[in-house]
Structure 1
Amino acid sequence: MPKFLIQASYTPEGTKGLLDEGASGRRAAVDQVVTGLGGTVEAMYFAFGQDDIVIIVDLPDPVSMAAASLAVKASGALHTRATPLLTLDEIDEAARRQVPFRAPGR
C-alpha cells in the first residue's frame, strides 16, 4: 500500500478547533478519514514551526490521498502538503529502469 508523508499547518480557525477538541480529538478525526479510505495511520505527531502536524499514512492509492487532501483543504482549517514515500526496493527498481533523457543544450 502506498505510503504518504502529510505535513500540515492550522489556519487560525483550525487552531481554535484544536484548542476545543484537543490532540486526541484531532487524532480521532484523522483516523476516521484514513480508515474510511481503506488506509491506516502509521504515525501522527504535533509540532511547532512551519508545520503543526506531521502524519505518515498508508492509503490504497494516490487517488485516495488526493480525495483526503481535497476534503481537508476545502474545510479551510488546514494548509497541507502530501509527499509520496518510496521504499528502498522501489528506488532500486527505479534506478534499474532505462529512461531516455537529454539535458537541455546537450
Structure 2
Amino acid sequence: MPKFLIQATYTRDGAKGLLEEGASSRSAAVDQVVTGLGGTVEAMYFAFGEDDIVLILDFPDPVSMAAASLTVKASGALRTRATPLLTLDEIDEAARREVAFRAPGA
C-alpha cells in the first residue's frame, strides 16, 4: 500500500478542540477516517514547533489519501502536508527507468 507522511498544524479552533477532547479522542478520529478508507495508521505523534502532529499512514491508493486530505482540510481545524513515501526498491526501480529530458539551454 502507498505510504504517506502527514505533517499537520492545528488552527486556533482545532487547538481548542484538542484541549477539550484530548489526544486519545483525536487518535480515534484519525483511525476512523483512515480505516474507513481501507488504510492503516502506522504511527501518530504529537509534536511542538512548526508541526503539531506527525503521522505515517498507509492507504490502498493515492485517491483514498486525497479523499482523507480534502475532508480534513475542509473542516478548517488543521493545515496539512502529505508527502508520499517510497521504499528503497521503488527508488531503485525509478533510477532504472529511462527518462527523455533536455535541461533548459542545453
TM range (shorter): over 0.9
Amino acid at match of 1:39: G
Using the size of structure 1 for normalisation, the TM-score is 0.99
5+ unaligned residues in a row in structure 2: which ranges? none
Distance apart, 1:69 and its partner CA? 0.4
TM-score for both structures, normalised by structure 2: 0.99
**Structure 1 residues 68-103: Cα deviation after superposition (integer angstroms, max 9, x where no partner):** 000000000000010000000000000000001010
Unaligned 5+ segments in structure 1 are none
> What's the counterpart of residue 68 of structure 1?
68
2:99 matched residue in structure 1: 99
Number of residue-to-residue matches in the alignment: 106
Q: How far apart, CA to CA, are the structure 2 residues paired with 1:38 and 1:59?
A: 6
Distance in 2 between residues matched to 1:87 and 1:64, nearest whole Å: 19
The 3-state SS of whatever aligns with 2:22 is helix
Q: Does 1:48 align with 2:48?
A: yes
CA-based RMSD of the aligned residues comes to: 0.3
